[in-house]
């Protein structure tokens, strides 16, 4: 056997390896950090309610990590036991966390004790897991009143882009509506407890990446627009 024979074999192996490597997913590259964000950069905050749910949430986290995307998760307190590792992974991988009550109940019209059982209990359980108490609040069904505002103890974040993914769990429809409603400064609502929503979320990300959008956390979205989130204030979007 000659050296050139082995060189050709080596070359052939290299070519086959290159052909077998899947194409890399479009990664986020434009965003230069909060301070360096050009005003022209289109931003969207991807938000997920009602989790964690180990199977679907883990698959979503895998997909977001592959794409370099950070999202915001509004968690239900009663779902935290035995899923602490999923929450820790969110925290470790740069996602932002929020409270979505303990039992997914309406927060309007509650007495202080009942409000605390929903929000403060969730806050302390989340704090026990991640070691800080800096969380947003998203009231279930987007319903809030003055009592919720006064007692929240943190910014209240709703949404502006809602493909109603819980309705029929139809991936094609959710993707189409999410992309159609997409707008710079928007907050997109999805639920990480459905497989269809995970599929739709990742497809929406890929389509909007190709349109030049950058996905960031709620905190990053508002910081990029020069807005400091205030406790007890309600936010729907950061449209220019
Ligand atoms: Zn919800």
Q: Are 101 and 118 in contact (CB under 8 A)?
A: yes
The whole-number pLDDT of residue 2 equals 61
- Read off the pLDDT band of 144 (50, 70, 90): very high
47 Cα: distance to centroid of ligand 1 (angstroms): 11
Task: List the catalytic residues.
Answer: 49, 191
Q: Where are the domains of the chain?
A: 41-235
The whole-number pLDDT of residue 20 equals 64
For residue 1, what are its two tokens?
């056997």
Q: pLDDT by residue (tens digit) across 154-187? A: 999 999 999 999 999 999 999 999 999 999 999 9
73 Cα: distance to centroid of ligand 1 (angstroms): 11
For residue 125, what are its two tokens?
């359980």
Q: What's the CATH architecture for 41-235?
A: Alpha-Beta Barrel (3.20)
190 Cα: distance to centroid of ligand 1 (angstroms): 9
Q: For the residues 107-118, what does the mean pLDDT come to?
A: 97
Q: Which residues surround ligand 1, an ion (CB under 5 A)?
A: 49-50, 140
- Read off the pLDDT band of 141 (50, 70, 90): very high
Considering only residues 141 and 18, tell me which one the structure prediction assigns the higher pLDDT: 141
Q: Are 198 and 9 in contact (CB under 8 A)?
A: no
The whole-number pLDDT of residue 11 equals 73
Q: Which segments within the chain are labelled E, that is strand? A: 42-49, 72-75, 96-99, 136-137, 156-157, 186-191, 213-216, 234-235
pTM for this model (two decimals): 0.88
- Read off the pLDDT band of 4 (50, 70, 90): confident
């Amino acid at each position: 056997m000659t050296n050139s024979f082995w060189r050709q074999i080596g070359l052939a192996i290299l070519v086959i390896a290159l052909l077998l490597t899947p194409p890399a997913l479009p990664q986020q590259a434009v965003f230069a950090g909060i301070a360096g964000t050009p005003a022209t950069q289109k931003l969207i905050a991807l938000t997920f309610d009602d989790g964690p749910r180990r199977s679907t949430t883990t698959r979503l986290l895998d997909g977001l990590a592959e794409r370099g995307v950070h999202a915001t998760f509004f968690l239900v307190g009663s779902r935290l036991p035995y899923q602490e590792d999923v929450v820790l992974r969110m925290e470790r991988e740069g996602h932002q966390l929020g409270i979505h009550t303990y039992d997914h109940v309406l927060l309007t019209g509650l007495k202080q004790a009942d409000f605390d059982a929903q929000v403060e209990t969730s806050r302390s359980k989340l704090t026990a897991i991640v070691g800080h108490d800096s969380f947003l609040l998203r009231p279930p069904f987007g319903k809030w009143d003055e009592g919720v505002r006064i007692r929240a103890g943190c910014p209240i974040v709703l949404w502006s882009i809602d493909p109603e993914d819980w309705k029929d769990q139809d991936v094609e429809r959710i993707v189409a509506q999410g992309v159609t409603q997409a707008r710079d400064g928007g907050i997109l609502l999805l639920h990480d407890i459905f497989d269809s929503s995970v599929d739709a979320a990742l497809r929406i990300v890929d389509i909007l990446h190709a349109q030049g959008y950058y996905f960031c956390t709620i905190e990053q979205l508002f910081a990029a627009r020069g807005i400091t989130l205030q406790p007890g204030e309600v936010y729907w979007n950061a449209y220019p």
